[in-house]
Structure 1
Amino acid sequence: MTTKMQTVEVDDQDQVTLLWKEYKTTKSSDARDRLIVNYSPLVKYVAGRVASGLPGNIDPSDLVSYGIFGLIDAIDKFDPERAIKFETYAIARIKGAIIDELRAIDWVPRSVRAKARSVEKAIVKLEAKLLRSPSDEELAAELGITPKDLGDILTETRRLGIAALDEILASSERGDSGTLGDSIPDKATGPVLVFENEETKQLLAQAVNRLGDREKMVLALYYYESFTLAEIGQVLGVTESRVCQIHTKAVMQLRLRLNDFDSQN
């Protein structure tokens, strides 16, 4: 049932390794172009995930074009000697390039931004009062609206969170390879990945643990297991739209908690 990311297929992995060595040694434009072609499926994958939360007037082909710049940047800066897969490193770069271009065209209406800020303020107030994550009903009551209206706002607000959690960990040079998946224990994770950006990942993991069970499940399935929103809806027995709302609320809460930590340091 799960729609997984298609890994880059190559006829001979040794040839790709040699291609990396050639490019890093000679900076050959031909070697770089061949690497771009080899890893181009990553761009389509990331663009598709970003596009799922955008309005219909955003052309998916534009997202792919934006993402290519991120792929090129990833190829230029990647160190093959590090104990990390290129795909893991590149996804954050590709997504970051797409988000930067979308922000540059300022496509999110001011009214949506204002609604997002009002929800964030309500979350902060209720968490301080309740010492836990507020329910949808409590959040709606604080805002003086119905739960349905809150759901509509969260659906709109998702446009503001298209970078979602990966952006939190990839917004600086020290977070090149970070994703939410890196903050979730994985038996296959090597020691380099475990300790890289440890502070940020620990903070994110702690923030995730403070969420409700449903929010944690949505984040884990979406970021770690690569389920689509529709597939998560099938698991939870709710609509894709409802999963979108749960995801948006969870991301807003995590951003607020991490931002609060940053402001205190």
Structure 2
Amino acid sequence: MGKVGIEERSIWNEWIQNKNEDNTNQLIDHYMYLVQYHVQRIASNLPKSVQKEDLRSLGLFGLYDAILKFDPNRDLKFDTYASFRIKGAIIDGLRKEDWLPRSAREKVKKIDFAVEALEQQLQREVSAEEIAAHLKMKKEEVEEVIKDSFFSNLLSMEDKGANDEYKEGIGYHIPDEKELTPEENVLKQEKLHQLSQHIQKLNENEQLVLSLFYDKELTFTEIGKALGLTTSRISQIHKQAIFKIRQMFS
């Protein structure tokens, strides 16, 4: 099981010999930091409506599963093995729970249709304000739906729409839910890692807009004021960044 400390080896030896509840709890306590670490990382990329305690419960399930299935005789660090199980359990749980409500999914579809209709009519990029006016929604609500649907789609980044092509625009296809195999879960984690790398390939303005919109949770209008650009231009930069990321994945 790779190089481990004396205390860690002792806990594992006790668990191998007894495999009772006390020994299992010892291992869970010892590796709880892995759950906390991955909960924090995943939660930072999800809407505030997703509770960290729910993610923690999913992560604990992944850790427990890792303990039961880990072979200490293999030349593999438990931390590495458990991390895959923990992240996979959290992502899989999010998919099964379908944390993006049906009402939000309906709004995503409405925004998609509105974007297509407005862009065909105006023959140019459209802003969040124009979408909101067309749908009689608040601009902030439109931006929030865009943000939540973006994170929802990260959980299915490798899925494609009709004709194996990603859709360009503010809205995009949210595929049907399906249960993932452990192998697919590992691939999904790799996709999320690739996402981080792809974002770093964007130009400075695109990275900044994504950071301010998704991390700092500023509106397009607020970002525009901060950067001295129009709201429409910020919307355009955002769309370009999302499209580039999708092209990198295709």
The equivalent residue for 1:86 is 78
C-alpha spacing 1:145/1:50, structure 2 compared with 1 (3 Å): same
8 Å CA contact 2:35, 2:63 repeated in 1: yes
The equivalent residue for 1:55 is 48
C-alpha spacing 1:209/1:64, structure 2 compared with 1 (3 Å): closer
C-alpha spacing 1:106/1:74, structure 2 compared with 1 (3 Å): same
- Counterpart of 2:6 in structure 1: which amino acid? D
1:19 aligns to 2:11 (yes or no): yes
8 Å CA contact 1:95, 1:163 repeated in 2: no
1:41 aligns to 2:33 (yes or no): yes
Question: How far apart, in 1, do the equivalents of 2:62 and 2:199 lie?
Answer: 31
C-alpha spacing 1:60/1:210, structure 2 compared with 1 (3 Å): closer
Deviations 1:8-54 (A, max 9, x none): xxxx812213433554x446124322111101122223233344423
Question: How far apart, in 1, do the equivalents of 2:206 and 2:9 lie?
Answer: 37
1:145 maps to which of 131, 148, 156:
131
Question: How far apart, in 2, do the equivalents of 1:182 and 1:110 lie?
Answer: 24
Unaligned 5+ residue runs, structure 1?
1-11, 124-136, 185-203, 219-228
C-alpha spacing 1:68/1:121, structure 2 compared with 1 (3 Å): farther
Unaligned 5+ residue runs, structure 2?
116-123, 133-138, 159-179, 220-234
Name which one, 1 or 2, has greater alpha-carbon Rg: 2
C-alpha spacing 1:82/1:174, structure 2 compared with 1 (3 Å): farther
8 Å CA contact 1:68, 1:94 repeated in 2: yes
The equivalent residue for 1:28 is 19
Question: How far apart, in 2, do the equivalents of 1:94 and 1:101 lie?
Answer: 11
Question: How far apart, in 2, do the equivalents of 1:145 and 1:86 lie?
Answer: 49
8 Å CA contact 1:70, 1:90 repeated in 2: yes
- Pairwise CA distance, 1:99: 3.9
8 Å CA contact 1:70, 1:96 repeated in 2: yes
- Pairwise CA distance, 1:102: 4.1
| Count of residue correspondences | 196
The equivalent residue for 2:183 is 174
What SS does the aligned partner of 2:31 have?
Answer: helix
What's the TM-score once normalised by structure 2's chain length? Answer: 0.50
